Amino acid sequence: MKKNIIITAANLRCGDFIINHWLKSLLENVNLKNIDVLVIDYGLTNLHKRLLIEKGIIVFKGSNGNHIVNKRFIDSGQFLKNNKYEQVLFIDGCDIIFQEDISSLFKKNKDSFRIITLGDNIVYYKWLLFGTFRSNIKKIIWKVIKNKPMINAGVIFAPSKKFIILCNKMNELIANKNFFGPDQVIVNYFLYQEKTKFLDKKYNFMINVFYEGFKIIDKIFYKKNGEKIAIVHNSGQTKLFRPIKNFGYKNKSSKLKPIIYFLKTLQYRFLSAYNQLIN
């Protein structure tokens, strides 16, 4: 039986969080039988790498140049070409914690991509096409993703062979890989042409996007209905714009930043309404 693999990426800024929160929550909550864990290294310290290796984590040296959100796909594809796995969980590292076992998702819908959508088409994706894709490609991409719910690239379950093709598309189609964002466009473009299964929001609960809200009880994140969130995603391009301050695994000092939370949810509501108006 081929193994499955969980892949994330980390630079120096993320190193402490990866070890103290991402990895700790993974080891305490997820059954890793027949699952390897890979961290692609984009500038971790020797201490970070030693601590990861001591926990049985594979550390793979990432490539130089380009923005980390783009090159993590390309480097993942290169690793998977040389190492045979059946299923992949490709997941963010700097802003995610695990609170429940998600290993069963490797065994379901194994021929499909399994992902979360934001529930609405967010029109600003069209803006991401400017400057990062060749003109002849932009129209093709927009024709596919227009008016479809936006898929988030932060949590992707996939068959390894199909995920390698996605990684190849990242390298092939993104003309300028130095900017934040084009990876999300290609994920949407490619997956909407593939067999795809939409998962419950609990498997990628983006705090600053999902309007129904959440609550923290005894250092655990729950949906408003009391259901425990399996994967908590404190999403945001930078630490400043992430809605939870001191975010971490069972961190008693984790607190909502009300102004940021309000502004981010307002942003998504506005863009959703604007999209409905123009379509």
Q: What is the pLDDT of residue 262?
A: 59
Q: What is the pLDDT of residue 260?
A: 57
Q: What is the pLDDT of residue 187?
A: 95
Domain boundaries, the chain: 4-119+149-203, 205-278
Q: What is the pLDDT of residue 222?
A: 93
Structure token pair of residue 219:
């250092």
Per run of 10 residues, the mean pLDDT along the chain (length 279 residues) is 94 95 98 98 98 98 92 97 97 96 97 87 58 81 86 96 97 89 91 96 84 83 93 73 80 68 58 54
For 4-119+149-203, give the CATH class: alpha beta
This prediction has a pTM of: 0.90
Q: What is the pLDDT of residue 276?
A: 56
Q: What is the pLDDT of residue 119?
A: 63
